[in-house]
Amino acid sequence: MKAMTYRGPYKLRVEDKPEPKIEHPNDAIVRVELAAICGSDLHLYHGMMPDTRIGHTFGHEFIGTVMQVGGSVERLRVGDRVMVPFNIYCGSCYFCARGLFSNCHNVNPNATAIGGIYGYSHSTGGYDGGQAEMVRVPFADVGPSVIPDDIADEDALLLTDAFSTGYFGAQLADIAEGDTAVVFGAGPVGLAAARSCWLMGAGRVIVVDHLDYRLQKAREFAYAETVAFTQVGDIVRELKRMTGGLGADAAIDAVGAEADGHVIQHVTSAKLKMQGGSPVALNWAIDSVRKGGTVSVMGAYGPMFSAVRFGDAMNKGLTLRMNQAPVKRQWPRLFEHIRAGYLRPSDLITHRIPLDHIAEGYHLFSTKLDDIIKPVIVPAS
C-alpha cells in the first residue's frame, strides 16, 4: 500500500509499505478515505518529537472503511464507515474508566506520561498513522464510531481531532457567560476554540496571531476580534489595554511547541531541540489573563522542560487546565451543534491534496503559503 513515510526533519516521501495486519484480537484494519495534516504533525516533521523513527507514517486524523476485524471485535463490521479518534485507548484502565481516554495506561509502552496516538512517534506508542491507504486501528470496539448518515465526511474528519480539541480547549477555559476569552493561535484548533467560546456564552473573544490571512479567517469563521502580535510591540500590554487593565478572564494556548515571538526561546526549542517547546504563547497566556483567571492549554509540547513563567501563574492565582482532548466524549454534543446549524467544522478546510503530493502539502502547511489553514489528504485520488 502507499503511505507517507518520514525520512528525517523536513523530509518525507510516499513509499510502498506492507499492508497493516491484525496484531491483536480487538484490532480492525481501516481503508483510509480522508486524512488530515494536523498542526502538531509539523512538530514531528520538524524533528522535534523524540523517537520519531525513519519510515514512520504520520496522521492521527482520519476516516475510512473497515476492511477487516479481529476475532474479539463485536461492534464494528466489515464495510462500516468510521471516524477514528486520534487517541488510542483500551477503555478499561484506571484512566479510561474515568473518561480520560487520552491518558490510557495500556497502549503506550514507551511512556507513562502520554497515551497512544496514531502516527505520532514511538513516544506515543509506535503506531503508524492514517496518512496512508490503510491503517491498523487497535481497540476497534472502543475508539472508532460509525459516521452518522447526516454528518458529512469532512465534518466527521475534523471531529477526529482539530475541532474537538478546540472545543475541549474552550471547555477547559471554564468560560462563564459574559467572559472575555483570548485565544493564542489562529490555526484550526485556535479557530475552533474561538468559535466554541461563543457556544459557552463568552461575551468577547479575541484571537492573537501574526499572519494576516489567519486573522481574517478568525474574524470570518470565529466572529472574533483580532490582534497581530507583530503589530503591537508588547502583546501582553495590548491585551491588558483592551481589557481595562485587568486582563482576559480566560486564555487559551492553541499554539504549542513552535511558538514564534521570542528569538532565544525559538532557537533553544525549535532549532536546538533543547526545550519541550518554545513556551512563548503559554507565557503570554499566563501574563495576559487576569488574576484568578484560567489558562487552557491545547498547544502540543514535547516532553522536555520548558522555561514557563510559573511564578506569575502562582502569584496570580491562576487555574491551569490542559490535556490531550478525549475527543470521543465531545462527539454527541458536537453532532447536535452541527445538526442545529451552529457549526460546520469543514469550513476550516482550505486544501485537498492527493497522497502522492503529501510532501508538497507539508511544505505549504509548514511555510504557511497559499493562505493554508487546514490541508486534507485524499489517498484514493
Alpha helices by DSSP H, listed for 134-186, are 153-159, 162-172
What is the C-alpha separation between 182 and 284, in angstroms, rounded?
10
Is 2 or 75 the residue whose CB approaches other proteins more closely? 75
Q: According to the binding rule CB under 8 A, does residue 141 interact with other proteins?
A: yes
DSSP-derived secondary structure for 46-96? TT-SSS--TT-----EEEEEEEEE-TT--S--TT-EEEE-SEE--S-STTG
Q: According to the binding rule CB under 8 A, does residue 168 interact with other proteins?
A: yes
Is 78 or 304 the residue whose CB approaches other proteins more closely? 304
Q: According to the binding rule CB under 8 A, does residue 381 interact with other proteins?
A: no
Choice from 105, 219, 309, 316 touching other proteins (CB under 8 A): 105
Q: According to the binding rule CB under 8 A, does residue 219 interact with other proteins?
A: no
- Site stretch for other proteins (CB under 8 A), options 30-38, 151-159, 174-182, 293-301: 174-182
**Cα 37 vs. chain centroid, distance in angstroms?**
10
What is the C-alpha separation between 306 and 273, in angstroms, rounded?
11
> At closest approach, how far in Å is the CB of 312 from other proteins?
19
> In the window 23-62, what residues touch other proteins (CB under 8 A)?
23-26, 47, 50-57
Asked whether 166 and 334 are in contact (CB, 8 A), the reply is no
Q: Is 199 helix (H, G, I), strand (E, B) or coil?
A: helix
Q: How many CA atoms lie within 13 A of 201 on its CB side?
A: 6
Choice from 201, 291, 292, 381 touching other proteins (CB under 8 A): 201
> At closest approach, how far in Å is the CB of 26 from other proteins?
7
Positive or negative: CA dihedral 325, 327, 332, 338: positive
> At closest approach, how far in Å is the CB of 203 from other proteins?
3
Between strands 225-228 and 2-6, the pairing is unpaired
Q: Give me 256's grid cell.
A: 504549542
Q: According to the binding rule CB under 8 A, does residue 310 interact with other proteins?
A: no
Q: According to the binding rule CB under 8 A, does residue 67 interact with other proteins?
A: no
Choice from 35, 38, 83, 90 touching other proteins (CB under 8 A): 90
> In the window 146-165, what residues touch other proteins (CB under 8 A)?
none
> In the window 221-280, what residues touch other proteins (CB under 8 A)?
223, 230, 243-246, 260, 263, 266-267, 270-273
- Site stretch for other proteins (CB under 8 A), options 78-86, 105-113, 150-158, 312-320: 105-113
Q: Which amino acid makes up residue 203?
A: G
User: Cell numbers 454527541 label which residue?
Assistant: 332
> At closest approach, how far in Å is the CB of 92 from other proteins?
4
Smallest CA-to-CA distance from 281 within 253, 305, 303, 304 is with: 253
Is 171 or 226 the residue whose CB approaches other proteins more closely? 171
> At closest approach, how far in Å is the CB of 288 from other proteins?
15
